[in-house]
Amino acid sequence: MKRWVSIVVAVIVIGFIGTNVYLIFKEDSKVQHTVHVEKWNRVQERDIVETFETDGILVPKEKQDVYLPLENIEFQQFLVEEGDEVAVGTPLFLYTSPEIDSLKETLESDITQVEGEIEGVEDYIDSLEDYQRSIPTTTSEIEVDSILEDGLKIDVHASSEMIESTIEQEIYKQELEKRKLEEQKTKYENQLDNINEKENSASMVSNIDGVVVDVNKNLGNPIITIASNELAIEGEFSEQQLKKAETGMKLTATASGEKRKLEGTLDKINPYPVDEPALDQKNAYKFVASILEQPETSSIGTKTTVSVVTAEVSDVPAVRDGVIHGKKTSYVYKLNKNGQITKNTIEKGLSFDGYTEIVEGAEIGEVAMLTPGKTPQTNTSFVTEMKPKQITKVALKDFTSREVWKYILIGLVER
Amino acid sequence: MNYHLNIVKGLFRPQISLYQLQKAEAIKGVIPKLIFLYVICLVTFATSTYFGIGTETYSGNITNYTLEKYESGKLLLLGGKLISGILFPTLFIWFASIFFWIFLEISYIKVVIVQTFGFAFLLLGQILTIPVLVLLDLNLVSNPFSFGVLSQYAFEHEYWNSFFGSITLFHLVALMLQYYYFASLSEKNRYVALTLLILFYLITWLLTGLMAFIKIPVLF
């Protein structure tokens, strides 16, 4: 008799709890939930920098080969030897030639041409800078300089930030071009200065600062090779890195022994692999990067770790990766000021090193759920676990006495 | 004969405990056992606050407080909860016993012991409920041991859901257990004990229902 009763009671109890659990979890359940949030993350203003790393080595920025200036010359003597340091304008060798006069003329016309080119580049830079200033911060109407825009290949729908960065890159490139042209001009001028008309002789001069690394005693071309003092970084990219890298990208390099990080720009990427392509090998592609501020102590051959910045955004709203859910469309579960969770679709931006930029859908200061990962119903209440380590006396003193009573009363009464 | 208060035996061997209580001339060990029960109650309440149970109306502060302030404020909630951890057993055991003592004519200390059994069982229920609520992401109104789930399908009104949410299986068992003791210890009609207990629990449910329903910030 007794046994019979307890079996019935047990069945009723289990049936009751089972029904409740079913009603709680069935689809479109009417039962209110409270999500117990373990971890959450506040949308913060951050810089997100996407990088990849590779090895590099410090090399002379350029090796300049010096050629005999004319065909019909009489070589007199070398003025430098291998290992000598030379500066711009240091005479390298002496020669005489009956064609000196025509060389002079050629040089003069070369100088005029280069000057013209420099002027053209300067004008272009000026107009780029004007354009840059004309870009408003808000997306109001932009006065479009169609010629410039075609040249820059700017999309009509591009954001002003994108346009700005494209222009900046273009200005950088043009300034580089201008420097090259100016160097060329100095070279021609130096050569001109070193022509001695009376003796029909001339000396060939160096147009970079550096060290003579090769002197060809057989008088074949190139007759002298000079390695520049200015350093650059050379290294190799893997196939995947090659896909991400583009010339003009910023990079940083840490050289052993050098305290500060070297900053530079990717100048050249050789898309043809270092070794002949073969099926059973991984290809490597050479790159050269210039260094903005020359290192003080590091010498040629110093190994560096290079990190190439492939994309960069600064001062954008960002969250930890775990906050963003969904595959096709991305969304976050926001914790609102009325104590409810809402599901909001967002637009993801750049993502690197555990953080993702939120382009649209959430603002700085808002809070979103990190865990639990399971999908909560939207518009449910949430509570959070205590984090005793975060409790501070200062923060506690920040409460007004009204708030103190309110919260003690919540603890006392609400359940 | 001396009776030593043994709560576990009181819950799971009621026949023996009842017999001993009936024969008891002197009763010992009540105070230390009750102090122990108070401590368990405080720890249980603190644990449930640690996991955030019943802090829904505080949660919204997460958006405008700093992390430190938000977490420090929970210390105030905990303070309030600990006060209720003292009040709740006191009202349940010491205060309610006065009425049973008056109407059932059982010695006060014996009523206190029976109420202790009832309270201990409810506390056991609360301890079991905490992980269920946390793991299934529920609140007390939707406690699967309660009638709140069924009520949410039957009623729209939140207060009734809170009321039924505060009626749990543990309450029913505690009620029957207390009835078993009171009916045998009292010389009065069994129905007097039953009526008193139902009345007592009805008030308990109405009050705890109100506590689950009320939103303190509205008052401020």
Closest C-alpha among A368, A167, B115, B91 to residue B106: B115
Banded pLDDT at A218 (limits 50, 70, 90): confident
- Are A368 and A334 contacting, i.e. CB atoms less than 8 angstroms apart? yes
Please tell me the distance from the alpha carbon of residue B124 to that of residue B131, in angstroms, as a whole number.
12
pLDDT for the residue A68: 77
pLDDT for the residue A374: 66
In chain B, what residues touch A376 (CB-CB under 8 Å)?
A: 137
Cross-chain Cβ contact A337/B153 below 8 Å = no
* pLDDT over 60 at A213, yes or no: yes
- Are A322 and A371 contacting, i.e. CB atoms less than 8 angstroms apart? yes
User: A83 exposed, middle or buried (CB, 10 Å; 0-12, 13-18, 19+)?
Assistant: exposed
* pLDDT over 80 at A117, yes or no: yes
Cross-chain Cβ contact B71/A387 below 8 Å = yes
Chain A residue with Cα closest to B86: A412
- Within an 8 Å CB–CB cutoff, is residue A339 touching chain B? yes
* pLDDT over 80 at B160, yes or no: yes
* pLDDT over 60 at A138, yes or no: no
In chain B, what residues touch A382 (CB-CB under 8 Å)?
A: 56, 59
Closest Cβ–Cβ partner in B59, B69, B138 for A384 = B59
Q: Nearest CA to CA, how far is B63 from chain A (Å)?
A: 6
Q: What is the mean pLDDT of residues A312-334?
A: 88
pLDDT for the residue B74: 95
In chain A, what residues touch B63 (CB-CB under 8 Å)?
A: 335-337, 365-367
Q: Which residue has the higher pLDDT, A36 or B218?
A: A36
- Are A58 and A302 contacting, i.e. CB atoms less than 8 angstroms apart? yes
* pLDDT over 70 at A199, yes or no: no
pLDDT for the residue A335: 92
Contact residues for A26 (Cβ-Cβ < 8 A; gap 6+): none
Q: Which residues make beta-bridge pairs with A228?
A: A210
What are the φ and ψ backbone dihedral angles of A79, each rounded to 5 degrees?
A: -105, -5
Length of chain A: 415
pLDDT for the residue B49: 95
Banded pLDDT at A263 (limits 50, 70, 90): confident
pLDDT for the residue A96: 79
Q: Which residue has the higher pLDDT, A153 or A23?
A: A23
Mean pLDDT of chain B: 94
* pLDDT over 60 at B112, yes or no: yes
In chain A, what residues touch B216 (CB-CB under 8 Å)?
A: 406, 409-410, 413-414
Q: What percent of chain B has pLDDT over 70?
A: 100
Of the given ranges (A84-93, A392-401, B148-157), which has the lowest mean pLDDT? A84-93
Cross-chain Cβ contact A413/B55 below 8 Å = no
Q: What is the mean pLDDT of residues B66-84?
A: 95
Place of tokens 């108070």: B38
Which residues of A243-399 form beta strands (DSSP E)? 250-255, 262-269, 285-291, 303-320, 330-335, 340-352, 355-360, 367-371, 380-384
Q: Which residues make beta-bridge pairs with B27?
A: B3
Select, from the ranges A64-78, A180-194, A345-359, B199-213, the one with the highest average predicted confidence (pLDDT).
B199-213
pLDDT for the residue A59: 86
Cross-chain Cβ contact B72/A365 below 8 Å = no
* pLDDT over 80 at B1, yes or no: no
Place of tokens 């644990």: B47
Q: What percent of chain A has pLDDT over 70?
A: 90
Please tell me the distance from the alpha carbon of residue B55 to that of residue B52, in angstroms, as a whole number.
5
Mean pLDDT of chain A: 84
Q: What is the mean pLDDT of residues A176-183?
A: 88
* Long-range Cβ pairs for the range B39-45 (8 Å, 24+): B40/B123, B41/B85, B41/B88, B41/B89, B41/B123, B42/B82, B42/B85, B42/B86, B44/B85, B44/B123, B44/B126, B44/B127, B44/B130, B45/B81, B45/B82, B45/B84, B45/B85
Please tell me the distance from the alpha carbon of residue B151 to that of residue B212, in angstroms, as a whole number.
14
Closest Cβ–Cβ partner in B59, B63, B140 for A415 = B140
Q: Nearest CA to CA, how far is B12 from chain A (Å)?
A: 14
pLDDT per residue as tens digits for the range B175-208: 999 999 999 999 999 999 999 999 999 999 999 9
Banded pLDDT at A267 (limits 50, 70, 90): confident
Q: What is the mean pLDDT of residues A344-371?
A: 89
Q: What is the mean pLDDT of residues A285-312?
A: 85
Please tell me the distance from the alpha carbon of residue B182 to that of residue B200, in angstroms, as a whole number.
13
pLDDT for the residue B77: 95
pLDDT for the residue B193: 95
- Within an 8 Å CB–CB cutoff, is residue A2 touching chain B? no
pLDDT for the residue A151: 64
Please tell me the distance from the alpha carbon of residue B37 to that of residue B40, in angstroms, as a whole number.
5
Q: What is the mean pLDDT of residues A300-320?
A: 88
Of the given ranges (A19-23, A304-308, B132-136), which has the lowest mean pLDDT? A304-308
Q: Which residues make beta-bridge pairs with A166?
A: none
In chain A, what residues touch B77 (CB-CB under 8 Å)?
A: 407-408, 410-411
Scored b (16 or more CB within 10 A) or e, A357-396 reads bbeebbeeebbbbbeeeeebeeebbbbbbbeeeebeeebb
Please tell me the distance from the alpha carbon of residue B76 to that of residue A411, in angstroms, as a whole number.
7
pLDDT for the residue B46: 96
CB contact residues (below 8 A), chain A span 369-398, against chain B: 372, 376, 380-388, 390-392, 394-396, 398
| pTM of the predicted model as reported, rounded to 2 decimal places | 0.72
* pLDDT over 70 at A302, yes or no: yes
ipTM over 0.85: yes
* pLDDT over 80 at A152, yes or no: no
Closest Cβ–Cβ partner in B63, B73, B212 for A415 = B212
Scored b (16 or more CB within 10 A) or e, B39-54 reads ebbbebbebbbbbbbb
Cross-chain Cβ contact B149/A31 below 8 Å = yes
Banded pLDDT at A147 (limits 50, 70, 90): low
- Are B77 and B103 contacting, i.e. CB atoms less than 8 angstroms apart? no
pLDDT for the residue A376: 65
pLDDT for the residue A119: 92
Please tell me the distance from the alpha carbon of residue A397 to that of residue A406, in angstroms, as a whole number.
15
pLDDT for the residue A28: 83
Please tell me the distance from the alpha carbon of residue B52 to that of residue A117, in angstroms, as a whole number.
73
Banded pLDDT at B114 (limits 50, 70, 90): very high
- Are A372 and B137 contacting, i.e. CB atoms less than 8 angstroms apart? yes
Please tell me the distance from the alpha carbon of residue B197 to that of residue B195, in angstroms, as a whole number.
5
Alpha helices, DSSP H, located in chain B? 7-12, 14-23, 30-50, 56-59, 67-89, 96-104, 108-135, 148-154, 158-165, 169-185, 190-213, 216-219
Closest Cβ–Cβ partner in B58, B82, B169 for A407 = B58
Would residue A315 be called left, alpha or beta, if left means φ above 0 and alpha means ψ between -120 and 50 degrees? left
What are the φ and ψ backbone dihedral angles of A175, each rounded to 5 degrees?
A: -65, -35
Please tell me the distance from the alpha carbon of residue A372 to that of residue A366, in angstroms, as a whole number.
18
Cross-chain Cβ contact A339/B66 below 8 Å = no
Closest C-alpha among A275, A320, A339, A351 to residue B65: A339
Q: What order do you get walking across the sheet with A210-215 strand by strand?
A: A63-66, A224-228, A210-215, A85-86
Q: Which residue has the higher pLDDT, B15 or A246?
A: B15
Please tell me the distance from the alpha carbon of residue B84 to that of residue B87, in angstroms, as a whole number.
5
* pLDDT over 80 at B75, yes or no: yes
Please tell me the distance from the alpha carbon of residue B37 to that of residue B11, in angstroms, as a whole number.
14
pLDDT for the residue A136: 65
Please tell me the distance from the alpha carbon of residue A374 to that of residue A260, in angstroms, as a whole number.
45
pLDDT for the residue B143: 94
User: A287 exposed, middle or buried (CB, 10 Å; 0-12, 13-18, 19+)?
Assistant: buried
pLDDT for the residue B189: 92
Cα R_g (chain B), whole angstroms? 19
Q: What is the mean pLDDT of residues A286-298?
A: 83
